[in-house]
Structure 1
């Protein structure tokens, strides 16, 4: 099993432990590009990664032939459109799954028909009023007991064994045969991200407030809000929307925050605006910012200005 990423990430840590428990040999690669990765694929049976690494793997296999690779395992975000078709053409199967470090493995899609709970896992999608979405709650023997050393996190319990980290899915519909609690037909989940604003990017979960603290510490930054914006391979990318003094450049921001943030936390998009939207209580208006970014540069809710 080839893991093209660091086991410091919970996704690849889970992947390594699972493979070793099954008696497989685990190999790691620092990235999913370059000659070294291509060579590693020549005697690999399974590649376990995120959408970006799956796409990179398919690019190599299409250029060189599938070799010994027979299965691609993907977590962290939804697969890009066309991934399964590309893999099938090479005789390679694709297994996608959903989980969280607090919840362990939750649901799996082995055939492209949608995510369904693993054995002994119950999933309850509870409607969130006014959103058209539901919050994903999980009950299984493998959910975490809590956080060590008083560390806080998104995990919540309901007193009856159900646990959530705030992930959202499509709203429940009337239960059909085989439906999970909450009424998702056939137990299939369509995930829509985190309800608390946490950004799921590749194999990492990024807390916006951590990034905001780092960016706000840069001289000349007057206000900042961080959100996730859609990305076809990573699920989301970290996007910093900020108001700055006129002399602040994007290059200077990247340099100033490089040592303050992990690679996953570093913004891939920097958007300079005349005013950062905030709620009446002074909190970042993340929903407004995310919606305005989706509308493009002409959105009246987010007046973008150029970089010097």
Structure 2
């Protein structure tokens, strides 16, 4: 197993204390891990945790300097927490990374208790028995993968990883549960439609919106979908088990921006007769599953963690406390200002991703919508399209343009279209919000400020 940086190798926990000179360095518990053998990395992470260490799982494709910087980032975050709250720092069990869809992944410190709270609800959704297999389709650097390893350890299940970076038919025979992102679920469904044998009965899907028709396609193959909204900082926030919409978990309290939509104090997610119905804005939350607070900030510069202990997610959402349904619209900073109008990139992406051909098959397997500089309009809506398997690229592009005219306002319709063989993705399978070289000159390739889910 590869260590990220020699200086990051954990020291014996007793050595600083025996001198009596200084308190132990909390970062001495950090154990950096990365390797091309993803199953071995995750198994070692579980062993490190069982021995009292804090596993820091990196990406074997990162340059050594980047891995060392990420380990130091984790160390600095843990030391900062120890300075503020030594007891909280002593309870840290895992150091996970956000997806890094626009920039360097950010470390998130988790206690065992914060993840166990989520394990209990996930166990009910999955019905996973001891000895059964859970297939995790994301790279070990993703917090989803490390969480899956922890979940399997808690349930006595066996963790399985994909044979290659992308799901293959061989991956689907054996596991009972697929833990993946929406795009990876679509990959699995395409394989099943082509006749791949499968033992899957449940798909635990998070990280983005569920594509239109995916739940029905899964049901046709005997797979039940548990689609959740969550993040590296918050774990499971809300779940849709039947297609009726995301509903917050019992321990989760929600509010929109100013706190007016707090689900308490009458009780978790209990309707308040004085609360306005269905408000939209920046989503904040509290729950038993939250990570340790830190001093990180949103792209707007606002603190991610409020002084009252609430987490500001950075997502725009509509919360209807009467109906108990949460609708997540995308990142609050993921908007495009064009010709005096505002277009939400996530809404445009969802509309295009829902497009179907005459046989009902998806037109695109991935869509990235960003604003590109335009002297006259301010920003121009640009759609970068990864055609679905089996679709002719030019025909797919024409179908998407038709879908845009039918379902989007004039301001939200893409004015620039780019076809690519495959969109770049993060370790968690999310589309990385970086424009390909073909879309823009080098000076404006990065979709600055536009973030995907953490």
Deviation of 1:146 after TM superposition, in Å, equals 2.2
Aligned to 2:330: 193
How far has the Cα of 1:96 moved from its partner? 0.4
> What is the total number of aligned residue pairs between the two structures?
219
Q: Is the 8 A contact 1:126 1:134 kept in 2?
A: yes
Q: In structure 1, what is the Cα distance between the partners aligned to 2:436 and 2:153?
A: 34
- 1:87 partner SS: helix
How far residue 122 of structure 1 moved from its aligned partner, in angstroms, is 1.3
Match among 431, 435, 442 for residue 267 of structure 1: 435
* Residue of structure 2 in register with 1:230 after alignment: 349
Q: Is contact 1:7-1:16 (8 Å) kept?
A: no
Partner residue in 2 for 1:145? 292
Secondary structure of the 2:145 match is helix
CA contact (8 A) 1:127 1:133 kept: no
TM-score by length of 2: 0.42
More helix by share: 2
* Contact 1:51–1:79 under 8 Å retained in 2: yes
Give SS of 1:78's match. coil
User: Of the candidates 288, 291, 309, which is equivalent to residue 161 of structure 1?
Assistant: 309
Question: Whole-Å Cα distance in 1 between the matches of residues 197 and 183 of structure 2?
Answer: 18
Q: Contact 1:50–1:234 (CA<8 Å) still a contact in 2?
A: no
SS in 2 for 1:192: strand
Give the distance between the partners of 1:285 and 1:64, measured in 2 at CA.
Answer: 41
- Contact 1:71 1:94 (C-alpha < 8 Å) held by counterparts: yes
C-alpha distance in 1, partners of 2:237/2:173?
A: 31
Distance 1:265 1:160 in 2: 32
Q: Compared with structure 1, are the counterparts of its residues 111 and 269 closer, same or farther at alpha carbon in structure 2 (3 Å cutoff)?
A: farther
Cα deviations across residues 59-117 of structure 1 (Å, max 9, x unaligned)?
Answer: 11222255311011110111110011111111110010011112222111111111111
The 2-side partners of 1:19 and 1:238 are apart by 36
CA distance in 2, matches of 1:269, 1:134: 34
Listed as ranges, the gaps of 5+ residues in structure 1 are: 173-182, 199-226, 244-260, 277-283, 287-308
Matched, 1:136 2:283: yes
CA distance in 1, matches of 2:161, 2:150: 13
Distance 1:58 1:285, change over 3 A: closer
1:28 maps to which residue? 161
The one-character-per-residue Cα deviations of 1:143-186 (angstroms, maximum 9, x if unpaired) are 12223xx654565334333221221112x4xxxxxxxxxx4333
CA distance in structure 2 between the aligned counterparts of 1:190 and 1:103, rounded to whole angstroms:
17
Equivalent of residue 16 in structure 1, options 135, 149, 157: 149
Structure 2: distance between partners of 1:22 and 1:114: 27
2:240 corresponds to:
109
Residue 73 of structure 1 corresponds to which residue in structure 2? Answer: 204
Kindly indicate whether the alpha-carbon contact (under 8 Å) linking 1:114 and 1:189 is maintained by their aligned counterparts in 2: yes
Kept in 2, the 8 Å contact 1:238–1:269? The answer is no
Deviation at 1:126, TM superposition (A): 4.0
Q: Which residue of 1 aligns with 2:191?
A: 60
- TM-score normalised per structure 1: 0.59
In the superposition, relative to structure 1, how do residues 126 and 269 fare at CA in structure 2: closer, same or farther (>3 Å)?
farther
